[in-house]
Amino acid sequence: MRILALCWLLCLVCATPAWAANGRLEWPLWPRPAVVREFDAPSPNWTRGHRGVDLAGSAGQIVHAAGPGTVVFAGELAGRPVVSIAHPGGLRTSYEPVRALVRPGTLVTAGTSLGELIAGHAGCPTAACLHWGAMWGPASRADYLNPLGLLASARVRLKPLHP
């Protein structure tokens, strides 16, 4: 039984996408922002929920790439300005509302300036909020992830499979 549990854990670790050189993301706003709305994963994926986190910022603040990848979208989506990055291993991060300084096809590294944060994010309790999302897999069946759990500063804790 222990061998089976160990194999399962190793499969999980091996299946985790390589988001950055060290396998972790960086904060997209500097200095480290306050989280003003937490991740609320929808289940199933097509139902209501909050598919990312909202980070307090200020209008005009530079938004940075959280990890290396390729810009796959920079423009209006449902009336909101969005930048999206495809990272190695199948992870995709999104940043909104952002006035893009990059174009699709641009290769970025962690910390690359993506654009400027725009005020007016719905439901934001501060003057400006960055909605930062993450998903893994093809959009048609993607798994939404809490980007805070992917940060280099996040503590990883292993728990037993059985109590």
Least confident of 25-39, 64-78, 146-160: 146-160
Sign, Cα dihedral of 81, 137, 70, 89: positive
In a domain, 32, yes or no: yes
Q: How many domains would you assign to the chain? A: 1
Phi, psi of 4 (to 5 degrees): -60, -45
CATH code of residue 91: 2.70.70.10
Domain housing 143? 2-150
In whole angstroms, what is the distance from residue 39 CA to residue 139 CA? Answer: 18
pTM of the model: 0.78
Read off the amino acid at residue 113. Answer: S
In a domain, 157, yes or no: no
Least confident of 39-43, 45-49, 97-101, 116-120: 45-49
Of residues 142 and 143, more confidence is placed in 143
Q: Averaged over 2-13, what is the pLDDT?
A: 34
In a domain, 156, yes or no: no
In a domain, 159, yes or no: no
pLDDT value at residue 49 = 54
In a domain, 162, yes or no: no
Q: Are strands 143-145 and 113-117 parallel, antiparallel or unpaired?
A: unpaired
Q: Averaged over 73-83, what is the pLDDT?
A: 94
Q: Is pLDDT above 50 for 21?
A: no
In a domain, 12, yes or no: yes
In a domain, 158, yes or no: no
Q: What is the 3-state secondary structure (H, E, C) of 85-146?
A: EECCCCEEEEEECEEECCCCCCEECCCCEEEEECCCCCCCCCCEEEEEEEEECCHHHCEEEC
In a domain, 18, yes or no: yes
DSSP-derived 3-state class of residue 75: strand
In whole angstroms, what is the distance from residue 130 CA to residue 118 CA? Answer: 8
